[in-house]
Amino acid sequence: MHFLNQVGAILWKDILTEFRTKDAIASMLLFGLLVILMFHFAFEPDSLETEKYGPGLLWVTFIFAGMLGMNRTFAGEKENDNLQSLMLAPVNWGAIFTGKMLANLLFMLMAETVILFCFCVFFNVNLGPRLGWVALITFLGTLGFASAGTILAAVSMNTRMSDVMLPILFLPVALPAVLGSVESTAAALTDPPGEALGFWLRFLVVYDIIFITLPLLLFDYVLEE
């Protein structure tokens, strides 16, 4: 319970900090909507094309918007030497990672909910009965992004060009999650849901397990000075 208390405390701290300014969520949301606009100008998909490319467009939007939010994970901590205070506190460093990861997950999910809604409105997509599956896929995919992204945000915060390094380090590692999310979303939206849905959901779960365990093992080494 002690570990969970620590996680809860760090999560609550991040939520409080974020909701004072709402910087990350607002910028993620706006950026996501801008990306949707760009896609309209770039592709102008009709309804058939939306069905075919929709899941891909949606997840590209999610990942680009999400990266914006992840940058701020540790940026704020570095500014006021908060990170050192956090490290010196009697907190299990794994709890720091878990708390920050859950905070990222929460903010990304909040932005993604609105982006998904706008996506359905702008491209006339009817999720209807599939909403449950899409929600599950969004959660699993975002969980993988949040986990890999949090540790890589910690890695890139120590570099000279931290904003640029995060996408460079994160995107190759996040690729399987993108593929799994897009394919399962596409499978969920076909009528009836294809058997591929089960396969890609399991794939996402395995990816999440691997890329939550590895960062938990490695996070201590990233924080060390």
Partner 1 sequence: MKPSVLHALCMLVLVLAALYTAFLYAPTEVTMGEVQRIFYFHVSSAWTSFLGIFLVLLFSIFSLLNGSRAWDIRAAAAAEVGAIFCSLVLITGPIWAKPVWGIWWTWDARLTSFFVLWLIYMGYLMLRRLVELPEQRARLSAVFGILGAMDVPIVYMANRWWRTQHPQPVIAGGENSGLDPAMRVALFVSLAAFTSLYFYLWRLRCGIEELQDSGDALHRQFQSMS
Task: Give me the residues that bind partner 1 (CB under 8 A), please.
Answer: 148, 151-152, 155-156, 158-161, 165, 168-169, 171-173, 175-176, 179-180, 183, 196, 199, 203, 207, 210-211, 214-215, 218, 221-222, 224-225
Burial of 63 (0-12, 13-18, 19+ CB in 10 A): buried
How far apart are alpha carbons 146 and 110 in whole angstroms?
A: 13
If the CB atoms of residues 6 and 156 are measured against partner 1, the closer one turns out to be 156
Residues with Cβ < 8 Å from 116, sequence gap 6 or more? 58, 134, 138
Minimum separation from the CB atom of position 225 to partner 1 (A)? 7
Residue with tokens 């995919």: 141
If the CB atoms of residues 121 and 218 are measured against partner 1, the closer one turns out to be 218
Minimum separation from the CB atom of position 154 to partner 1 (A)? 9
Residues with Cβ < 8 Å from 13, sequence gap 6 or more? 99
Q: Which one-letter DSSP state was computed for residue 128? A: G
If the CB atoms of residues 9 and 210 are measured against partner 1, the closer one turns out to be 210
Residues with Cβ < 8 Å from 222, sequence gap 6 or more? 151, 154, 155
Minimum separation from the CB atom of position 73 to partner 1 (A)? 16
If the CB atoms of residues 135 and 171 are measured against partner 1, the closer one turns out to be 171
Minimum separation from the CB atom of position 212 to partner 1 (A)? 12
